[in-house]
A and B are shown apart, each in its own frame.
Chain A
Amino acid sequence: MNRPEKSVTIGEYLDAKGISRRSFLKFCTINASLMALPPGTGQVMAAQLRAMKRPSVIYLSFQECTGCLESLSRSFSPSVESLIFDVISLDYDDTLMAAAGHQAEQARENAMRENWGKYVIVVDGSVPTANGGVYCTAAGKTAEAILTETAEGAAAIVAVGTCSSYGGLPKASPNPTGALPVSKIITDKPVINIPGCPPIAEVITGTLLHFLTLGVPDLDAHGRPTAFYGNAIHDRCYRRPFYDQGKFAKSFDDAGARSGWCLYELGCKGPLTYNACATVKWNDGISFPIESGHGCLGCSEPDFWDKGGFYQPIPEATFTDTEKIALAAAAGAALGAGSAVLSRWRRKKKLAEAAAGEEAS
């Protein structure tokens, strides 16, 4: 992925590689329209990118499963999205790079030094902080230390995947490693969250392209680009009419499921989940979980692992503590009996008082 020709522009680089202008324009236009940018932006992006030098990107992986990188690289079947690897200069990626050990670390340090203040960090995986952060170390340094050190000269940090955006699976209760999202570790640099487990490839590349050409995109309260995370799955889901009518699959592969009815009662978290799955879809727009018959897990939301079960429908109360409720019932009965006893005792007392009073008078 890494080419020694760092001084050439992206345009020159692409030409040298034999990637046609049309392909590149298509790549830029697709991404621009995905983000609902004004017409013609694709051409502007393409022109801008061709003129600039390949920006340095340092990819840091911490407590992750590599699913995010797989989604992006589509290494089993590269698509036009893999052109992103020709736009950027991926100067460090411990999964993909050929080098290892001190040489690999050296590459990172070189990239930092040579592009100080301009390089972009892409992070996947969450950062452990418990017990000094020993649960994820590389080259003798903790993840936290590596991130903090690398972030010092970064222009921006892109947290790819729910783990780096919000903590993800490692952070799920009881969070034994003390996992934290990137935005909780780095607070003095712009952090763009691209959550998802994993995120859609086009969402990652679109956001990167936007940042490289137009700067940080509009972000919502969770730091996600609104262009991709502005609508709930529910609002764009093709099965929405069934929801509105009240036609729900009751179990997997029942008549309703086979008719493509809404998966609300099978635990779909679509109404609560903001992502582009329903529109952009996966694997070049082939399908997305709901279309394949499984409810949305809500994987682009913070703490989605801890919101009840994937198969627990939204209306169900989570964590109903039957023990506590039984205790409350017992307490209620006791209080009721107690109040009746007190009332009867007071009544007897009152009647006795009155009787005594009558006798006296």
Chain B
Amino acid sequence: MTLLDFARGPAMNFALSLFILGVLWRLIGTALLNLRHLYSLPRKSRSASILQGLITAGSRSWPHKEFIGRTGYGELLGYSYHIGLFIIILAFAPHITFFKGLFGITWPAMPSTWIHIISVLTFTLMIAVIVRRLTHNVLRRLSNFDDYFSWFITCLVVVTGLMASGHMGGPYETLLALHLLSLEALLIWFPFGKLMHAFYIFPSRIANGYFLARKGAPS
């Protein structure tokens, strides 16, 4: 079995299994903890509060204008590379083929050349992001192993992907194997670190919006 066979076969299966196991463990382990019933009289009805929650799920994606002066740059940086990653993952033809193999559905791809350009931009942004994390005083104080490692493992997938699709640094089958292996490492790490924010972001915002709306407070 070559490294690529391993990466495409047993390793992928293992990583996907562990990913699903870990994500369900974490989500269910949190969701089944006790939930208190609230007795105070709500200012807004339940449906109005839920609606506000759903609105907050989207509106928190950008800071309120009062906050933008201090946060605009960081937000822009963070969102830009996220958008870049989403485009690369979802619009690059070989990735769509990968998802088709897993889920059976497919969608149109973006021309590969655009993806190459976006990949380079995204990589640059990821470098900017880690530089910011290493130099901003608040981020230096807050950051732990999880923050640095999650960045590293994501960056590794991007870098190996660039190398594989650019045929840089070795025989293609090895580069592709490394790209797949780095993805598998990311999948295995995913449930245990901050990457889980992908699953938490909307429930958390909805809850926040709901409880603030319930009080009649802005969200």
Contact = CB atoms under 8 A, between A and B. Distances in A.
B169 interface: no
Contact of A339 (B1, B25, B94, B97): B25
B8 A317 contact: yes
25 contacts: A234-B172, A245-B112, A246-B113, A272-B176, A303-B1, A308-B8, A315-B97, A315-B101, A316-B8, A316-B97, A316-B100, A317-B12, A317-B98, A319-B13, A324-B17, A327-B17, A328-B16, A329-B20, A332-B24, A335-B29, A336-B25, A337-B29, A340-B30, A340-B33, A344-B33
Nearest to A332: B24
B28 A315 contact: no
Interface of B: 1-2, 4-5, 8-10, 12-13, 16-18, 20-34, 92-95, 97-98, 100-102, 109-113, 115, 167, 172-173, 176
A336 B24 contact: yes
The binding surface of chain A is classed by DSSP as: helix
Contact of B98 (A248, A303, A315, A335): A315
Contacts of B18: 328
Contacts of B5: 303, 306-307, 318
Interface in A286-333: 302-303, 306-308, 312-321, 324-325, 327-329, 331-333
Cβ-closest 7 pairs across A and B: A336-B28, A332-B24, A316-B101, A246-B112, A340-B32, A328-B17, A332-B21
A332 B16 CA distance: 12
A264 interface: yes
B112 A244 contact: yes
A318 B8 contact: yes
Contact of A272 (B12, B29, B100, B173): B173
Contacts of A347: 34
Interface of A: 232, 234-235, 243-246, 248, 264-265, 271-272, 302-303, 306-308, 312-321, 324-325, 327-329, 331-333, 335-337, 339-341, 343-344, 347
Given A246-B113, A320-B13, A336 B27 contact: yes
Contacts of B111: 245-246
Contact of A333 (B28, B94, B98): B28
Contacts of A336: 24-32
A310 to B, nearest CB: 15
A308 B4 CA distance: 12
A341 B23 CA distance: 17
A324 B14 CA distance: 9
Given A324-B17, A332-B23, 6 more contacts: A246-B115, A272-B173, A313-B101, A327-B17, A328-B17, A335-B21
